[in-house]
A and B are shown apart, each in its own frame.
Chain A
């Protein structure tokens, strides 16, 4: 045991924890199925019907297998494969996120480079930032008059703040020495921004983008529960209405997995631009 590396020991412990948790879950939910003999009155009252209960992990695994072996089937509005629903959600998240990045990063540059712009815009940012993105939903629905576009707007508004603040913070924190290097080399403002300030602030900017994509993925589920139609959030709510808890649990796991993948993508981008001083 002593010869195993830390990683191997951690992996073994993870697997053991998983087996223990799934085992405990399986045992605890199947025990409920054990019924006692019912009186005639109880049977008449419908208590003998199979009660809706939290499904055991074995059921969830079977459902996962079914769903993942055919993720893109489309049998009408209320019966689409998990792949299609996730694709809708990811497409909305990316659209809102990219729109937010297109606005937040240039604006963050401006705020970071100009103390006046920072002081002028800061009160607005401080008021707008703590607003729950879903609070914008009614207003967005009224103004935009389109539920899909409103969902994208909600993603936009929630992912704009971390990127804006991190860009401004990163740009304002660029070492004066590096800016002086640009000045003594007679670089214009655009070249200074692109060749010195952007690479210098890139790790901070990407931290903001990583936080934003995480929040966007949290918010899309709630937004789609509200607007309905398509997407993983709608799927969860639809399966709840169907009382199909197996599918609910399965989709919860899928939301977690996709969120992890999105975060991993931005973590690797972050590593690519990080530099050691």
Chain B
């Protein structure tokens, strides 16, 4: 098996727990992301999703383990890995346009001023920000517009890997829906590799090629990698009609509601912990009649017969 574009190998993060011992957030976590793939990671608060994100971004050092991108080990932050933070992280003294050109200038240092502005304006237009609005300061923009600027800044830099840390967490449901669709549109144009943290199951199904499911901490692990077997382009109102939608959704709900707790708190005993691939596809002919062995003992009223779990 060839190495994926991004491979995370035996990542461990532990902190002193303040009482002399150590608190292991996650241990020996390993997973990969292919080029052009959109991967979401779902898990409860405090399970270490953001820690993984910070390690990938280079903003935090793992206790042990390596992250390789394109075969090269990464350390420290880099323009190759763009980040969209949950709280937008726009510089409040710069206009929306200047916030984007700030990034573009850092990425393409030899570009002329006009070219930088042109490039930035194009990416702002992609997320629906045009005209006078782009000269406003972040404080004069709504939360949704601010996050659009932040997304435009990240995409305009054309990083090899885009990291989104709960980008829509602070937005109301309606705005979130619109921006999710904009994100999908921009993504489909650019073929970016995206790794995104989210709390929102529907959001993850709409956006992702694959969803990584994380158990609760301590000793959290990425237990499953669920493939989203819904064809693109996806539209929110249409995917809910797809036969796989609720099957996948139920699986995710069961995991987060029950099994994330049941699987928590187990040390890895030094073994590398890769997620078990899960593929739920009701549209495919059931070539595997074996009743779903991997969905856990109480996975609810799911159509288990159609679940096919493959060990990696």
On A, residues with C-beta under 8 Å from B are 177-178, 180-181, 183-187, 195-196, 199-200, 202, 273, 275-277
B107 within 8 A of A: yes
Do A275 and B93 have beta carbons less than 8 Å apart? Answer: yes
Of B77, B91, B102, B138, which contacts A183 at CB under 8 A? B77
Q: In the complex, A181 Cα to B85 Cα: how many Å?
A: 9
Contact present for A184 and B102 (CB under 8 Å): no
B197 proximal to A (CB < 8 A): no
Given known pairs A180-B59, A275-B139, the reply for A186 and B91 (CB within 8 Å) is: no
Chain A residue contacts of B77, Cβ below 8 A: 180, 183-184, 186
Bound-state Cα–Cα, A95 to B114, Å: 41
Chain B residues with CB under 8 A of A187: 106
| Beta-carbon contact of B137 and A276 below 8 Å | yes
**CB-CB nearest in chain A for B103:** A185
Other-chain contact of B83, A184, A199, A200 (Cβ < 8 Å)? A184
Contact A185 B102 (CB under 8 A): yes
Residues in B with CB closer than 8 Å to A273 are: 93
Contact, CB under 8 Å: A181 / B89: yes
A277 to B87, CA, bound (A): 11
User: B43-65 toward A: CB 8 Å interface, digit per residue (1/0)?
Assistant: 00000000000000111000000
15 further A-B contacts with Cβ under 8 Å, apart from A180-B57, A181-B91, A275-B93, are: A177-B85, A180-B85, A180-B89, A181-B89, A183-B58, A184-B58, A184-B59, A184-B78, A184-B83, A185-B79, A186-B78, A195-B102, A199-B91, A276-B137, A277-B139
Alpha-carbon distance A186/B85, docked complex (angstroms): 16
Contact among A177, A184, A195, A196 for B81, CB-based, below 8 A: A184
- Chain A residue contacts of B57, Cβ below 8 A: 180, 184
**A-B residue pairs in contact (CB < 8 Å), sample of 8:** A178-B91, A183-B58, A184-B77, A184-B81, A186-B79, A200-B91, A275-B92, A277-B138
Answer whether A276 and B78 are a contact pair too, CB < 8 Å, given A177-B85, A181-B91, A195-B102. no
Task: Name the residue in B93, B107, B137, B139 with the highest tally of chain A Cβ atoms < 10 Å from its Cβ.
Answer: B93
- Nearest chain B CB to A105's CB is how many angstroms away? 18
Q: Which one of B87, B92, B107 lies within 8 Å of A185 (CB-CB)?
A: B107
Q: Closest residue to A185 on the B side, CB-wise? A: B106
Residues of B within 8 A of A200 (CB): 91, 93
Cβ contact within 8 Å between A186 and B106: yes
- In the complex, A276→B136 CA distance in Å? 12
Task: Verify A178–B139 contact, CB threshold 8 A.
Answer: no
Within 8 A of A (CB), among B82-96: 82-83, 85, 87, 89, 91-93
Across-interface contacts of A180 in B (CB, < 8 A): 57, 59, 77, 83, 85, 89
Name the residue on A nearest B88 (C-beta): A177
Q: Is the pair A183, B59 in contact by a Cβ cutoff of 8 Å?
A: yes
Most-contacted residue by chain A among B59, B82, B83, B89 (CB, 10 A): B89
* 8 closest A-B pairs by CB: A276-B139, A185-B106, A275-B93, A177-B89, A183-B77, A275-B92, A184-B77, A199-B93
Inside 8 A of A186's CB, which chain B residues have their CB?
A: 77-79, 106
**Nearest Cβ in chain A — how far from B55, in angstroms?**
13
**B91 and A196 within 8 A (CB):** yes
Q: Is the CB of B79 within 8 A of A178?
A: no
Q: Which of B119-158 contact A (CB under 8 A)?
A: 137-139, 157
